[in-house]
Amino acid sequence: MISRTCYTSGSTGAPKGVMIRHRNIMNFLNWVRTEFSISHDDRFALVTSYSFDMTLASNWVPLLTGAVLHILDEERTRDVEALLDFISRQQITFLNLTPSHFSLIASARAYLGSADRPLPMHPGMRVMLVGEVINTKDLNLWLDFYPDHRFINEYGPTETSVASSFFPIPVRSSGHIEMKTVPIGKPLANNTFYILDKHDRFCLPGVAGELCIGGDGVAVGYHRKPERTAAAFVPDPFRPGAMMYRTGDMARLWDDGNVEFLGRQDHQINLRGYRIEAGEIEAALCTNPRIAQAVVVARPVGLLESMLLQHFIDAHTVGGAKTGRQLLYVQSHLAAELFQGWRVVHRLEQDLARVVDPLQVPPAQERACSAGNRRLVTERARDQGRQLERLAGKVELSHRSLQRARADL
């Protein structure tokens, strides 16, 4: 029986509805409850939109265990100072969020210092990080204030019911995390990982291959999309009668049994926890008769944000298309929450007969369009900048430190 349909990769407003059964989600929830010994003494905080599937651990596990769940409004989750105060005051024991969100919180904690604002936290708080590559510098920044806190890297596409693997990140005797690369770990209970080559044969340890997932977490398929379901949800060649999901993620097995995520084998982009189908956006853009070819890439913007960038070839003349018109066209075809992170950056001056490889688009080709279009940089990034400036003023950072913080943004 289907328990929920979670829509994912809605890059152009036409997302895929992943149909998840009761037994799929219960396998994950029971694993969280057992693995982390969740009880009625725990306190959770819901700090991400409830429509994001990663929040299932935060808002459903308390219902199974009698733990306390604090539901915060969007304004409080975006105000990092208020969020830190809340986590401290309520002595939250389990926090579930994306690495980019945690990076903002950790940076704010460092700006606040410890003399005037000790912000005591529950000593046993666990932080589960989901949906993005982890920067261990952020974790070590936090450990300087809270050495007993522990972090878990959780991995899993929506198609395998929230999460498929986890990795408890070890803290060394120095009090810091010294890993350069954080793996996605090992499969959770009743899930199976296969790292396969193009012939569906097992890859040797250390050899990259496609990560395929089997077991109780595999969803039914995509709602009313039989062709896409047939391509991604296939019979498990190693377990007769079972199904396997082809993630499209590249990975390799370490000697200790942990798995390292290497990236995508297609042109899918992971941005702030969203899996974005860049190919869908490119196809939508190319319906504009003035665009002969388009490439969508993600580039970092400062320390706290990433941005989607559109490169295109004008079908008539390289300089003929107006940037403003292209932005309006992008806006009309892109999901609203993603458009806030867009800007048109450069026309690709290439022979139209050549195929543009998105991995070969050099950062040097990116340039800002105009002052009018710079205001399309994410409102979220602006909010973060204002918050950090306010925090900097409260702790009376020196002029030089403030200038350095602004430059980082």
pLDDT confidence of residue 265: 76
Task: List the Cα angle 198/256/102 in 5-degree steps.
Answer: 90
| Of 103-107, 197-201, 228-232, 385-389, minimum mean pLDDT range | 385-389
Task: List the Cα angle 254/190/268 in 5-degree steps.
Answer: 60
- Looking at the domain that runs over 268-377, which CATH code has it been given? 3.30.300.30
Domain 23-187 falls under CATH 3.40.50.980: yes
- Reported as a single tens digit per residue, the pLDDT across 129-163 is 998 889 999 999 999 999 999 999 999 999 999 89
How many other CB atoms sit within 10 Å of the CB of residue 318?
Answer: 11
CA distance between the termini of the chain: 47
pLDDT exceeding 90 applies to what percent of the chain? 52
Cα 341 versus chain centre, distance: 14
Q: Is 113 exposed, middle or buried (0-12, 13-18, 19+ CB in 10 A)?
A: middle
What are the sequence ranges of the domains in the chain?
Answer: 23-187, 191-264, 268-377
- Reported as a single tens digit per residue, the pLDDT across 56-110 is 899 899 999 999 999 998 888 889 999 999 999 999 999 999 998 999 999 999 8
Residues 6+ apart with CB under 8 A from 397: 111, 405
| 3-state SS, residue 49 | coil
Q: Which superfamily does CATH assign the domain made up of 191-264 to?
A: Luciferase; Domain 3 (2.30.38.10)
Q: Taking the model in full, what pTM does it have?
A: 0.71
> Are 154 and 128 within 8 A, CB to CB?
yes
pLDDT bin (cut points 50, 70, 90) of residue 294 is confident
pLDDT confidence of residue 327: 58
CA distance linking residue 225 with residue 222, whole number of Å: 5
257 sits in the region (left: phi over 0; alpha: psi -120 to 50; else beta) called left
Token pair 């899996």 is at which residue? 275
Query: CATH topology of 23-187 equal to that of 191-264?
Result: no
With 90 as the cut, is the pLDDT of residue 392 above it? Answer: no
